[in-house]
Amino acid sequence: MSILSDVNIGNLVVVSENNAKNPLKERLLSLGITNGAYIEVLRKGPKNNLTVYRIRGAMIALRSEEASLINVSLVI
């Protein structure tokens, strides 16, 4: 198990735990980041601070501080 911010571009992961606190947890849940959701890492922004992910067909960008609160497992 690792955290979402450490996943390399092009990898597909599945969410195992969301460790964020309210209201950030509510925001992440509304974006579709729930246990068992698949996330694909699309690209990283300048200085690796902002990363674009595909979650349930939508593209969203998260800061590394936000992504570090999400535990994921790599899908083979």
Q: Tens of pLDDT along 28-58?
A: 999 999 999 999 999 998 887 899 999 999 9
* Positions of E strands within 1-76: 2-3, 12-18, 38-44, 50-55, 58-63, 70-74
pLDDT number for residue 39: 98
Q: Report pLDDT digits (tens) over 52-67.
A: 999 999 999 999 999 9
Domains and CATH numbers, the chain: 2-74 (2.30.30.90)
Task: Provide the pLDDT for residue 48.
Answer: 76
At 21 the pLDDT is: 95
CB 22 within 8 A of CB 30: no
